[in-house]
Amino acid sequence: MSPLLEVAGLRKSFPATRNLFGRVTERTVVSDEVSFTVGRGETLGIVGESGAGKSTVGRQVLRLIEPDSGTITFDGDDVRKLKGKDLLSFRRRAQMIFQDPFSSLDPHMTIRNAVGEPLTIHYGIKGAERDRHVVEMLERVGMRADQLDKYPREFSGGQLQRIAIARALTLDPDFIVCDEPVAALDVSIQAQVLNLLLDLQAERGLSYIFISHDLSLVRFLAHRVVVMYRGQVVETGTAEELFENPQHPYTKTLVAAVPDPRARRCSAAVPALEA
Ligand SMILES: Nc1ncnc2c1ncn2[C@@H]1O[C@H](COP(=O)(O)OP(=O)(O)OP(=O)(O)O)[C@@H](O)[C@H]1O
Ligand SMILES: [Mg+2]
């Protein structure tokens, strides 16, 4: 079967300098011929240092920003050409979870509305029927139904990330770009959220792009990993392969930052993750 997502030759640049008249004189290339695939039910990790271009790739894949060139194929469809009904369908099937749940949720919207809104926008579902679905989603991510009328400020970071996951799940997607979804959370909470993502994948056959600068985290979650460095994919392989036999100097640096795999198993995040 073909992969769910195929990205080929993705290129994106932003204006770097302008002359006196506002004309762009130089551009910074932030995605430079980026290519990878994501299989059905698979997690592809994207790792790389800050500014490597990881988020920019995730946003292009979801058509939140427009690439300069390259192709994005989702379940056989050319994502860059989708319009109308087909684009809406893609918007239902492909979701995103961001690093900071405080800024990804509207502070003036109750949890009932935050999680239910996509159902109204896409299907016109409102009232009791919508509430039933919202409660089901919230319970699935470990939140209680009596919290429906609270606002984001009344929750902790970990709870908010669960709510953001519930919102992303509302439309029953096939694919979620998780952009550093636990980087802003306490280590103890990180494991719970990562386990939730793993459970949801097992239940629903979800495919993920999991963006992180932490290779040790990605090793536990991702089936395959893409290493980005200055806008380019410098290495692709299973996390195991990259750990055991890194090829690119940057991957070697990443691996060296996690000195001993046995020691890493005893780190705070990992036992809870495996529990
Ligand atoms: N809208 C934009 N305009 C101009 N430059 C941008 C824009 N968005 C991103 N960039 C630049 O693109 C480069 C890659 O940014 P990106 O956010 O994709 O990196 P990242 O790998 O996600 O980093 P981090 O780990 O810090 O999140 C950076 O140099 C950034 O400054
Ligand atoms: Mg980023």
Ligand nearest to the CA of 54: 1
Three-state DSSP class for 160? helix
Is 177:211 a contact under the CB 8 Å cutoff? yes
Lookup: tokens for 108: 């003036």
Cα of 98 from ligand 1 centre, angstroms: 14
Ligand nearest to the CA of 229: 1
Give per-residue pLDDT as tens, 118-148. Answer: 999 999 999 999 999 999 999 999 998 889 9
Element (H, E) at 219: helix 215-221
Cα of 97 from ligand 1 centre, angstroms: 17
pLDDT of residue 268: 42
Domain 5-103+175-274 has CATH 1.10.1200.10: no
Beta bridge partners of 95: 176
Is 10:60 a contact under the CB 8 Å cutoff? yes
104 CB-side CA count, 13 A? 23
Nearest one of 205, 155, 156 to 176, comparing CA atoms:
205
Nearest one of 165, 187, 195, 188 to 177, comparing CA atoms:
165
pLDDT of residue 259: 59
Ligand nearest to the CA of 231: 1
pLDDT of residue 87: 96
Determine if ligand 1 sits within 6 Å of the CB of residue 14: yes
**Residue ranges per structural domain of the chain:** 5-103+175-274
Round to whole Å and give the CA distance between 103 and 261: 34
Alpha carbon of 147 to those of 4, 102, 169: distances in Å?
A: 35, 17, 18
Determine if ligand 1 sits within 6 Å of the CB of residue 34: no
Give the orientation angle of helix 187-204 with respect to helix 157-169, to 10 degrees.
10
Q: What would the DSSP string read from start to end of 80-142? A: GG--HHHHHHHHHHEEEE-S-HHHHS-TTS-HHHHHHHHHHHHH---HHHHHHHHHHHHHHTT
Q: Which residues of 7-30 are buried (b: 16+ CB within 10 A; e: fewer)?
A: beebbbbeeeeeeeeeeeeeeebb
Neighbours of 97 (CB within 10 A): 24
Q: Give the list of residues 6+ apart from residue 204 with CB closer than 8 angstroms, or none.
A: 172
Name the E strands within the chain: 5-18, 24-38, 43-47, 69-74, 77-78, 94-97, 175-179, 207-212, 224-229, 232-237
In the sheet with 94-97, reading across from the earlier edge strand, the strands are 94-97, 175-179, 207-212, 43-47, 224-229, 232-237
Determine if ligand 1 sits within 6 Å of the CB of residue 51: yes
Determine if ligand 1 sits within 6 Å of the CB of residue 112: no
Regions in the chain scoring below 70 on pLDDT: 259-275
Neighbours of 51 (CB within 10 A): 13
Is 204:176 a contact under the CB 8 Å cutoff? no
